[in-house]
Structure 1
């Protein structure tokens, strides 16, 4: 692929090339399973779903990565117990590791289950807590979004840059509706506050893809409450390397523990966060 350039490596093995290969192989397999999953279970809530495809894709990605980097650490959504407390514990146990792979095998499982073609594979690599590689792959559109720290972000081999909108009134933004029932009401308050301020709002159902779209200039901004490192890490680097900005909803810089996120082209970020704050979004702080 054209994205496989001069990339960070250990012993000649490219981190980014391994991430791309893992995302592509998992994505191709996930696509063949669309409409054919055989199990469906609830995790934390009726909106938090898992199938054997999620678990199989994560196993595939883990095996592919560990073949090349057996001493690296791995944090995958399907290896963590449901619920925000379990997610925070799982991250705290590994976030200080030298190399940590952070994976959501199917970001948008509800869409996958319903045959709605908006889901993705998200793979990030953090070095001592800082994201250095981010991959989001959309198997239905065969779109691969790739970022490396300090080297830019790309889709279809072309350099990405965020959108030019400098005013909320000209901005197309997106949100997601949280799987955590406790987050739904605050999210609806934010939606009510933001909707009159922007050109329009979308909700596709995959945080990783929404963030990739911000990086590609297709959206001016994105916000959502109650997310986890595997939802955000790859998208964060895509946006950063495309010239945008990612923070928590209080406007503080992104780190792996952020759960309530605001991501924009940078130009609208302060006004976007101000509107979220007015809706009480910052009342739930990050650890």
Structure 2
């Protein structure tokens, strides 16, 4: 049976649960930080020298907790996460895209930039996002969250962003630390796509772009950026196209991956006019 489009009451309920799940992830991360955790590396069985995709025991535990809680609250919704093999197709009306720890390499090394991200899609389009960040615009951990059609909030409070007109060069999220943009901002690489998404929504970054993120890396942050009124573009068919949704006919939700750029309208327009992945 096809679900109806979410009204404001359902959006509010979904947002509340998304915030709860992001906070759950943040609590588990903080409790484990600094401990002697077990760390494994994806792909090391095929290549013993492959140490590029770490996963801690906390990643799996957080995703399992989130899945269990979501099954209680919205049993008819599906979920795609980084750590478990279940990959629903985008034919489901509601899909939750979850990254229990985004920035795991930072986390296991104690480098304090990481996040726990929850994004909710309705027929492939982001409608709710909640991203717990290890730090924020107020130098405190907390959750940036929003539902489509409503403003971005931080820990439940309205988020007010103002640009200082005396700052002539802003900051932009770049996938390579050595690369410097020629479009009027200084590049920054945090090691966490979810944090960069949240920082764009919060006005700390002018824009950000990613060479090939996974859906769980950016679904929550994309919902935040759309709620903030930003533009987004996706690279497909050898061109930048306006982002519409994550839908891929005949493909699993977990299979989506494409170059993605989003941020302030004028910055995104300048970027896609000159840059190629």
TM exceeds 0.5?
yes
Residue 175 and residue 33 in structure 1: after superposition, are their counterparts in 2 closer, same or farther (change >3 A)? same
> 1:111-122 maps to which residues of 2 (within 5 A)?
111-122=106-117
**Superposed displacement of residue 143, structure 1:** 1.9
Look up the match of 2:52.
47
Could you report, residue by residue, the CA deviation over 1:40-96 in whole angstroms, capped at 9, with x for unpaired residues?
Answer: 111145221101000001111111111111221110110149xxxxxxxx3xx4212
- In the alignment, is residue 195 of structure 1 matched against residue 200 of structure 2? no
Structure 2 gaps of 5+ residues are 1-6, 44-49, 247-255
How far apart are residue 158 of structure 1 and its match?
3.9
Task: Give 2:81's aligned residue.
Answer: 76
* RMSD (Å) for aligned C-alpha atoms: 2.5
- Return the alpha-carbon distance in structure 2 between the equivalents of residues 61 and 113 of structure 1: 21
Over residues 248-277 of structure 1, what are the superposed CA-to-partner deviations in whole Å (9 max), with x where a residue is unaligned?
144312222352111111121111122322
| Residue 33, structure 1, aligned to residue 32, structure 2 | yes
Change (3 A) 1:153 1:25: same
> In structure 2, what is the equivalent of residue 62 of structure 1?
67
Tell me, in whole angstroms, the C-alpha distance in 2 between the residues paired with 1:37 and 1:148: 37
| Contact 1:176–1:206 (Cα < 8 Å) also in 2 | no
Which whole-Å CA distance do the structure 1 matches of 2:23 and 2:153 have between them? 15
Q: Distance in 2 between matches of 1:240 and 1:26?
A: 23
Contact 1:173–1:202, Cα closer than 8 Å, also in 2: yes
- Answering whether residue 253 of structure 2 is matched by residue 252 of structure 1, we say no
Q: CA deviation at 1:142?
A: 2.2
SS of equivalent to 2:258: coil
Cα separation, partners in 2 of 1:273 and 1:163, compared to 1, 3 Å: farther
How far off its partner does 1:163 sit? 6.8
Unmatched 5+ residue regions in structure 1? 1-5, 82-89, 178-187, 282-287
TM-score (norm 1): 0.78
Q: Aligned partners of 1:24, 1:206: CA distance in 2, in Å?
A: 17
Look up the match of 1:98: 93
Higher helix share: 1
After TM superposition, give the deviation of residue 226 of structure 1 in Å: 1.8
1:14-36 deviations in whole A, cap 9, x for unaligned? 11111111111221111110121
- SS of residue matched to 2:216: helix
